[in-house]
Amino acid sequence: MKFAYVALLMIMLAGCATKNADEQTVSEKARNIAISHTELSAAYFGRLQYATALQEIGVALRADPTYSPAYNVSGLIRMALHEDELAESDFLHSIKLDKTSPESRNNYGWFLCQRGRAKESVPQFLEALKNPLYQTPEVAYSNAGVCAFKAGDVAQAESYLQRALILQPGMSMALYGFAELHFSKGNFAHAKSYFIRFQQNVQDLNAEQLWLAIRIERKMHDANSEASYILQLGKRFPDSPEFQLSQMGE
């Protein structure tokens, strides 16, 4: 699944106030500089201004190289730039500085999942969920569900996705995860139901999501809906593999 906005949901800089064992050795001024520039970096990252985001996170880390959230945000930026070795190093360093940080665990898990290491990713989400102060456990549950499904563990995937929806009934990523899961099980009516609910929560569908919609409508023998999704896919992603598959009737 290619949710471009997932990482943004996981920055969660509310954790910036978290203290760690090294904080006593850092001056209050240095820590405040690290906090403010980490927040600025996250804001620029959210606007896809990666070069400026890197500059800001560099200032934060020079001010306080023991500030765990700064490495977490740096990992997200490096991940977006596909600098995978640096991204993994940053996530691991963030966790080393603050082993209880649910944001760092969650982001590192998503990194692993997106890089074809789904089995390794799920334990990271579960570690994030151990922190009783985690403000968005539905994110980790949803990610655990998506990645457990990628790893082939359908039963666990269903359990995690259900927990995410209990915490946040309209959570788009969990709804999409259930649509994909039910489609894989041949429950096409359920897949369509979840996809409709998912679509109500997003503005624009990406190529992968449109392709799932097309396959669902084919199985439901709804030619008009299928044609509508194919038209959208062709207009917005004419060079995508998904559009080529739609034209072949696969």
pTM for the whole structure:
0.86
Same domain, 197 and 209: no
pLDDT digits over 13-39, tens only?
Answer: 433 444 454 555 668 999 999 999 999
Whether residue 58 is found in the same domain as residue 111: yes
HEC states along 57-83?
HHHHHHHCCCCHHHHHHHHHHHHHCCC
3-class secondary-structure state, position 144: helix
Q: To which H or E segment does residue 9 belong? A: helix 6-9
User: In terms of residue numbers, what domain contains 137?
Assistant: 6-202
Determine whether 51 is exposed, middle or buried from the number of CB atoms within 10 Å of its CB (0-12, 13-18, 19+).
exposed
Of residues 7 and 34, more confidently modeled: 34
Query: What is the per-residue pLDDT for 134?
Result: 96
Verify that 115 and 170 share a domain, yes or no: yes
Neighbours of 166 (CB within 10 A): 12
Q: How many domains does the chain have?
A: 2
The per-residue pLDDT for 24 is 52
- How many whole angstroms separate alpha carbon 99 and alpha carbon 143? 19
Q: Does residue 1 sit within a domain?
A: no
Question: Is the domain of 118 the same as that of 234?
Answer: no
Residues 13, 46 within the same domain: yes
Between CA 93 and CA 99 the distance in angstroms is 10
Q: What is the mean pLDDT of residues 187-196?
A: 97
3-class state of residue 2 by DSSP: coil
pLDDT at 51: 97
Pair (164, 74) in one structural domain: yes
Q: Choose one of 168, 183, 202: the last residue of a domain.
A: 202
Q: Same domain, yes or no, for 45 and 146?
A: yes
pLDDT reading at 187 higher than 60: yes
Q: CATH code at 17?
A: 1.25.40.10
